[in-house]
Amino acid sequence: MSKFNMSLTKVPMAEQDPKVRARNFSEVALGYSMEEAVEEAKRCLQCKDAPCIKMCPVSVNIPAFVGKIAEEDFDGAYMSIINDNNLPAVCGRVCPQESQCESKCVRGLKGEPVGIGRLERWIADYAREKGLHPHMEVEKNGKKVAVVGSGPAGLSCAGELAKKGYEVTIFEALHKEGGVLTYGIPEFRLPKAIVKSEIDEIKKLGVKIERNVIVGKSITVDELMKEGFEAVFIGSGAGLPKFMRIEGENLKGVYSANEFLTRVNLMKAYEEDKTPVHRGDKVAVVGGGNVAMDAARTALRLGAQKVYIIYRRGEEELPARLEEIHHAKEEGIEFKLLNNPVKLLGDERNWLRGIECIRMELGEADDSGRRRPVEVEGSNFVLEIDTVIMAIGQSPNPLIKQTTEELKTHSWGGLIVEEETMETSKENVYAGGDVVSGAATVILAMGAGKIAAEAIDKKLK
């Protein structure tokens, strides 16, 4: 058996057929088999100064875990990755590998990069099935740290601190743990049983999670510190929905993506039917990021006959993960690019009936580096629609800032932190993830949580 697989393409990974999966909530990607994983792992050349590691926000030692899969030392592969990344089953599924690890893979120069994401997913699923647990003999140091939010930033920070011996308690505002992993990302991309299983592993490290506690309302950051927590990490996310502020936005049938996804993912409106969700027939999702893709594909699965994505820039500018855009198109979602809503139209009972849009063209680049969309005068048209989902961004929830005076924020709400330590303007209070950066990715949040954990440990030692 040769050591390296020199094939120029990734071993294909099975997926549900688009027509079938557009009507169910089961996971779209079906994962590798053991043989396929080993075959793909052998494509990795074990580069000495591996460029992929530097592109990973949590610095996973990629050649190490991939190498062990290739050698069929699966336990070893799992121990390797879990050391660097507390949520591998999640990251393997939702990371934008094409702009991170895989973008710099040497194999990608001539053909396709190594399927690093697929391998991370495979080894994490394997470990879960086999009941492998990270071996952790940790000496507790008796110091308490509080973490706000049980999303990826909080979970990552808590996990790292627990490994270093701290007594960590996570305070979660909702009745279920996971943050966006639970309420934001749909079941068909990230099964909730997997999220629960990953969180259980973190709890096994000794991390406590208290649900239904809203820091900023049920208890303040100052009060937490009075209770003996020597440091606080804020990972409360970006849960404030943005609306366009156009006419008709308060008509019935208009949702923020947050509300729509929370009803379906967190409250299980697609199967439990206790919390309702308006199941539109003709749905328009405004936006071009992952949240927009999630909302559109969810609307389809709820039974919509027609789903549009309306995005004001073009194909190149779509910020969503490539695989999500690809899957959305396969499932039959129509992309109306270079279009922007002008107003929403309703009937006499105030139900949404249509959306008036205008065509756009791309002008000069703006601050973010993306070309600014400019309206094409007189190109207005109306689409018949009964549901609109606004997925144009989320900003940080201001509840904590409102009750913690010393916290400095940007004008748009993001907490200001020291880049190297993630410490805020309030001593011993750290923050990371979307609450600092604005809506971004799971892995970036995890990276921030890791940096903060290191910094907290350094300070409290």
Partner 1 sequence: MYEILEKEILNPNIEKMEVKAPYIAKKCRAGQFLMVMVEEDGERIPLTIADYNREKESVTIVYQIVGYTTKLLSRMNKGDYLFAVSGPMGKAVEHSEENKKILGIGGGVGAAPLLPQIKEYHELGIECDVILGARNEEYIILEDDFVKYASNIYFCTDDGSKGHQGFVTEVLKELVEKDNKYGEVIAIGPLPMMKAVVDITKKLDLKTSVSLNPIMIDGTGMCGGCRLTYDGKTKFACVDGPDFDGFKVDFDELMSRADMYKEHEKKHICKLEEGGKNNE
CB atoms within 10 A of CB 124: 27
- Phi and psi at residue 415, in whole multiples of 5°? -70, 140
DSSP letter for each residue of 133-176 = -----------EEEEE--SHHHHHHHHHHHHTT-EEEEE-SSSS
Report d(CA 441, CA 189) in Å as an integer.
Answer: 14
The sign of the dihedral angle between the CA atoms of 277, 278, 279, 282 is: negative
Asked if 380 is part of the footprint of partner 1 (rule: CB under 8 A), the reply reads no
Asked if 398 is part of the footprint of partner 1 (rule: CB under 8 A), the reply reads yes
Spell out, one character per residue from 201 to 240, where the chain touches partner 1: x when CB under 8 A holds, - when not.
Answer: ----------xxxx--xxx-------------------xx
**C-alpha separations of 4 from 8, 38, 254 in Å:** 12, 10, 53
From 38-46, 255-263, 294-302, 412-420, span contacting partner 1 (CB under 8 A) = 255-263
Whether 89 and 31 have beta carbons less than 8 Å apart is answered as no
Question: Which CB sits closer to partner 1, 339 or 387?
Answer: 387
Q: Hey, what are 260's tokens?
A: 């729509």
Question: Which CB sits closer to partner 1, 92 or 179?
Answer: 179
Quote the least distance from Cβ 213 to partner 1, whole Å: 6
From 89-97, 158-166, 307-315, 392-400, span contacting partner 1 (CB under 8 A) = 392-400
Give the residue, chosen from 84, 112, 230, 249, that forms a contact with partner 1 under the rule CB under 8 A: 249
Quote the least distance from Cβ 327 to partner 1, whole Å: 25
Residues of this chain, 11-70, that bind partner 1 according to CB under 8 A: none
Question: Which CB sits closer to partner 1, 80 or 298?
Answer: 298
Beta bridge pairs of residue 383: 355
Quote the least distance from Cβ 220 to partner 1, whole Å: 9
Question: Which CB sits closer to partner 1, 203 or 371?
Answer: 203
Asked if 132 is part of the footprint of partner 1 (rule: CB under 8 A), the reply reads no
Q: What is the CA radius of gyration of the chain?
A: 23
Tracing tokens 């049983």 back to the chain, one arrives at: 193
Return the SS3 of 431.
strand
Q: Hey, what are 351's tokens?
A: 């139900």
Spell out, one character per residue from 169 to 208, where the chain touches partner 1: x when CB under 8 A holds, - when not.
Answer: ----xxx---------------------------------
Quote the least distance from Cβ 343 to partner 1, whole Å: 15
Angle at 260 between CA 254 and CA 262, to 5 degrees: 150
Q: Binding residues for partner 1, per CB under 8 A?
A: 173-175, 211-214, 217-219, 239-241, 243, 245, 249-250, 252-253, 255-256, 258-259, 262-263, 267-268, 272-276, 278, 349-350, 397-399
